[in-house]
Structure 1
Amino acid sequence: MGITDTKAGTGTAATAGGGSRRWLMLALGTAAQTSSFAFVYGLPYLIPVLRGSERLSLSQAGLLVACPTVGLLLALYAWGAAADRYGERVVLASGLGLATLALTAALLVHGLVLLGLMFALAGAAGASVSAASGRVVLGWFPPEQRGLAMGIRQTSTPLGMLVAAVSMPPLAAAYGLRGALLFVTLLSAVMTVLVALLVVDPPRPPRTAPGGARPASPYRGSRTLWRIHGASALMVWPQFTVGAFGLVFLTDVRHWSPVAAGQLMACGQALAACCRIGAGRWSDAVGSRLRPMRALAGAVGAASLLLAACAQWWPSAASVVLLVLLCGLSASTNGLSFTSVAELAGPRWAGRALGVQNIGQNLTASLAPPVVGALISASGYGTAFACAAVCGVAAIAVVPVRAVDGAA
């Protein structure tokens, strides 16, 4: 069995009470992350209007889309350390408030540089949600429910993309870039108020161990956490290849309208949310986070390879089906890796470990749009999807199933 209560430490909060409260905390954490990701990962749905209104090339639009994840990347560890020290509620409320201010400023500026700066600042502030909301959820749930709970919480990424896919293209068509940005600004403002009023930090064990010593770093003398970070970062590449350029593929290659393409991508993100919940429940049932993660990495590699073949040699409706399927599969492992990292790190290191986890994922997410955009421009969509397949296959070897499950 790969799931234990000794390392996670946060199960004490869940078993001490708070039956209905834990589900409220799960709902708030998921909603806060969804509102943040509607902006951070929803910008790809604005690539058509960015190319038009701001007169950007595809590579420049990809660079602008990457700016929020660059800001997120730079701030994640600091927010994680703050959550470990000061608690989740303060970090969530202050970060969301700062993100709202940065998005408000983005409504007033134009051009690649100024928009990129505001987007990066908003992403850096929104990193607080990635660092702290997972701690809230894990702190209120016992080990046998954490896979499901974290799977639900991690639906915030596809749900944020779904919200963006449904709202951003029609808002941009009707009101331009600023209309779409105003929508995510208001979402952030509402969640700032709700988090400040309703989030309750989970109870924590004493700050020192019984012998008086501080808990040792979970990274000391072991590569297990680093391998989980690496495998999850590899899985981000196919997720963001499809998430950032699926809509562009549908409009440029399949000749769909941006609104219709956005609606289909929303279906893909709905499937992604279901896959994350299903993967979390699967991990609770089998007593392992990493065995399902390895199996799903293989499925992503196979689906990406088939999509590459369709895009290169057999352009047909099959590529549309594979695109939606890959939206779901490529997002399915995220909650598994986050839950495993938090359980292995323990309550006094969970914020920082989740910060490191997020850094690896968001470094990949920030590199993927400009690199994949350049690949598509140079070699076509087949090459881009083939690279996604390579990452999925590589993740199979990196996931440390024996190191975690064999030691439990």
Structure 2
Amino acid sequence: MKDSPYEENVSAPPEKTGAIKKFNPWQMLGWLLVTQVMVAFVGRSIAPLGVFIGSSLSLTNTQIGMLPAALFLGQIAASIPSGLLVDRIGSRALLLQLSLCLGLSFIVATMTSSFILLLLILVIGGIGYGSMHPTSNLGILHWFETRSRGTAMGIKQMGVTAGSALAAIILVPLAASFGWRPVVFGASLLLVAIGLVSFLRFQDGPGFKKTKKGEKKETGKAFLKMTKNRTLLALSSGAIGLTIAQTSLNTYVIIYANQVLGISIALAAALLVIAEVGGSIGRIGWGMISDRLFNGNRMIILMMTALISSIAAVCIALFKPGVPFLFLAIVIFFFGLGCSGFNGLWMNAATEIVPPKQAGLSSGFSLSVGSWGMVIGPPLFGFIVDMTGSFTLGWYILAVILILTAMLYLRIHFTLKKEGATEHA
């Protein structure tokens, strides 16, 4: 028996009619994926380029951690409003708007030497970055049926880790040669161009209809209802633990490998790529496993991602200079597989536990809660390093947080199983 309520609340997209017939769901997913890759390529470049920005502006580890935190603070600010907006006007219109917001903000960021001003600009850019999640989530919800939605969401979410990996592969060596400013400037221009093309080619799914005026009055009630949805709150709270680990790993793995383990900057950047490859595989693989082997059960798989990440964090804490690169790469891969591979499952669960017309708001709400881990994690990890002069305690703290997260998801699983048994009694 299925121990999840997801299937009951999510309907398949209606039959395609009229002009919409000529569009293929997987083609639409392709445009969402391309845009997601570019949004992550620019937005998440802050983490791998942190070592160069820190050197340029003479920043501490804590301040370097505040850079991605500022981006994700903007994401939090945008997640609920963008969720409301996409429910009303659709995904297509927002694809261009969010690309312009993020791209133009980062272009301006390359022109400042003030740390405070840079943080403010990154917050604005984060508004565009954070809007991508509800926008793409709603697009997938209306283009794909339940049986393939987990896989589609995983593919789309793979764009986040793919974009981050490309930033490490392409932007880090370019920044080492030419500086971070011209590199970010060029990447931002490319994002704006891709956003325009996606706007012209993408179409909202057959199940989407713009919110009518009379329906807008229900939005406030729907939001209040979500704040009382204990399953959604627990799901989102667990995401805080995983996002703390994810952003801490992405922000400091290059610095840790280079400055503590004595690895060259090129190989250190390769470790971030390996982590993001693991995350990319996880975002597709975990979704497929959940869909095909666990009948859409998201919580058990989320628990597994947290446990895998906790074990990897302990291993990293035990590393010493001279550790074989292959062993280091394997551990980093599994760390990324867990803490960077869970997002697709998270977004699926957030959209599936509410009625389809509230999917954008639900994913935005969950994102606004879970993203606090991205704001808290990097500065806190950096502060621990600055205070102790070592990365070891930081990795151990991440492991403890991840174990607690796994326990939370296990509890949600049994709660849903119990509720399902009661409903079918």
Q: Distance in 2 between matches of 1:73 and 1:220?
A: 15
CA offset digits 1:120-140 (Å, max 9, x no partner): 211112222122111111221
Instruction: State the 1:324 CA deviation.
Output: 2.9
Q: Secondary structure, in 3 states, of the residue corresponding to 1:75?
A: helix
Q: Hey, what does 1:384 align to over in structure 2?
A: 394
Q: Does 1:265 align with 2:275?
A: no
Instruction: State the 1:182 CA deviation.
Output: 1.6
Q: Hey, what does 2:406 align to over in structure 1?
A: 396
- Is the CA contact 1:90–1:196 (under 8 Å) kept in the aligned structure 2? yes
Identify if the C-alpha distance between structure 1 residues 328 and 220 changes in structure 2 by more than 3 Å, giving closer, same or farther.
closer
1:152 aligned to 155, 171, 174, which one?
Answer: 155
Q: Distance in 1 between matches of 2:316 and 2:129?
A: 33
Q: Distance in 2 between matches of 1:172 and 1:49?
A: 7
- Is the CA contact 1:64–1:112 (under 8 Å) kept in the aligned structure 2? no
Q: Hey, what does 2:42 align to over in structure 1?
A: 39
Q: Hey, what does 1:83 align to over in structure 2?
A: 86
Number of aligned positions between the proteins: 401
- Is the CA contact 1:15–1:142 (under 8 Å) kept in the aligned structure 2? no
Identify if the C-alpha distance between structure 1 residues 337 and 388 changes in structure 2 by more than 3 Å, giving closer, same or farther.
same
Q: Hey, what does 2:182 align to over in structure 1?
A: 179
Identify if the C-alpha distance between structure 1 residues 226 and 53 changes in structure 2 by more than 3 Å, giving closer, same or farther.
same
Q: Distance in 2 between matches of 1:165 and 1:144?
A: 34
Q: Hey, what does 1:280 align to over in structure 2?
A: 287
Q: Does 1:229 align with 2:236?
A: yes
Q: Which amino acid aligns with 2:230?
A: R
Identify if the C-alpha distance between structure 1 residues 259 and 350 changes in structure 2 by more than 3 Å, giving closer, same or farther.
same
2:27 aligned to 24, 29, 33, which one?
Answer: 24
Between 1:181-190 and 1:80-89, the stretch displaced more is 181-190
- Is the CA contact 2:42–2:187 (under 8 Å) kept in the aligned structure 1? yes
2:191 aligned to 169, 188, 191, which one?
Answer: 188
Instruction: State the 1:43 CA deviation.
Output: 0.8
Instruction: State the 1:339 CA deviation.
Output: 0.3
Q: Does 1:109 align with 2:112?
A: yes
Instruction: State the 1:310 CA deviation.
Output: 3.1
Q: Hey, what does 2:312 align to over in structure 1?
A: 303
Q: 1:135-146 to 2 correspondence within 5 Å?
A: 135-146=138-149
Q: Hey, what does 1:332 align to over in structure 2?
A: 341
Instruction: State the 1:14 CA deviation.
Output: 7.2
CA offset digits 1:275-297 (Å, max 9, x no partner): 11110000101111112112222
Instruction: State the 1:384 CA deviation.
Output: 1.0
Q: Distance in 2 between matches of 1:404 and 1:204?
A: 28
Instruction: State the 1:362 CA deviation.
Output: 2.0
- Is the CA contact 2:309–2:334 (under 8 Å) kept in the aligned structure 1? no
Q: Distance in 1 between matches of 2:155 and 2:169?
A: 20
CA offset digits 1:253-307 (Å, max 9, x no partner): 1212222211232122112101111100001011111121122222222222232
Instruction: State the 1:341 CA deviation.
Output: 1.0
Over the residues paired in the alignment, what is the CA RMSD in angstroms? Answer: 2.4
Q: Secondary structure, in 3 states, of the residue corresponding to 2:85?
A: helix
- Is the CA contact 1:273–1:328 (under 8 Å) kept in the aligned structure 2? yes
- Is the CA contact 2:96–2:198 (under 8 Å) kept in the aligned structure 1? yes
Q: Distance in 1 between matches of 2:374 and 2:238?
A: 14
- Is the CA contact 1:3–1:143 (under 8 Å) kept in the aligned structure 2? no
Identify if the C-alpha distance between structure 1 residues 321 and 5 changes in structure 2 by more than 3 Å, giving closer, same or farther.
closer
2:57 aligned to 54, 57, 60, which one?
Answer: 54
- Is the CA contact 1:40–1:69 (under 8 Å) kept in the aligned structure 2? no
Q: Hey, what does 1:219 align to over in structure 2?
A: 226
CA offset digits 1:328-375 (Å, max 9, x no partner): 221122111110110112222111111112112321112111110111
Q: Distance in 1 between matches of 2:21 and 2:248?
A: 40
Q: Hey, what does 1:169 align to over in structure 2?
A: 172
Instruction: State the 1:407 CA deviation.
Output: 4.1
Q: Secondary structure, in 3 states, of the residue corresponding to 2:262?
A: coil
Q: Secondary structure, in 3 states, of the residue corresponding to 2:196?
A: helix
Q: Hey, what does 1:352 align to over in structure 2?
A: 361
Q: Distance in 2 between matches of 1:67 and 1:195?
A: 27
Q: Which amino acid aligns with 1:46?
A: L
Q: Which amino acid aligns with 1:97?
A: L
Identify if the C-alpha distance between structure 1 residues 270 and 18 changes in structure 2 by more than 3 Å, giving closer, same or farther.
farther
Q: Distance in 2 between matches of 1:61 and 1:332?
A: 24
User: For structure 2, which runs of at least 5 residues remain unmatched after alignment?
Assistant: 421-425
Identify if the C-alpha distance between structure 1 residues 14 and 402 changes in structure 2 by more than 3 Å, giving closer, same or farther.
farther
Identify if the C-alpha distance between structure 1 residues 368 and 221 changes in structure 2 by more than 3 Å, giving closer, same or farther.
closer
Q: Distance in 2 between matches of 1:187 and 1:3?
A: 41
Instruction: State the 1:28 CA deviation.
Output: 1.4
Q: Distance in 1 between matches of 2:22 and 2:232?
A: 31
Q: Secondary structure, in 3 states, of the residue corresponding to 2:49?
A: helix
Q: Hey, what does 2:423 align to over in structure 1?
A: none
CA offset digits 1:213-256 (Å, max 9, x no partner): 96973537541111111112211122122111111111011212
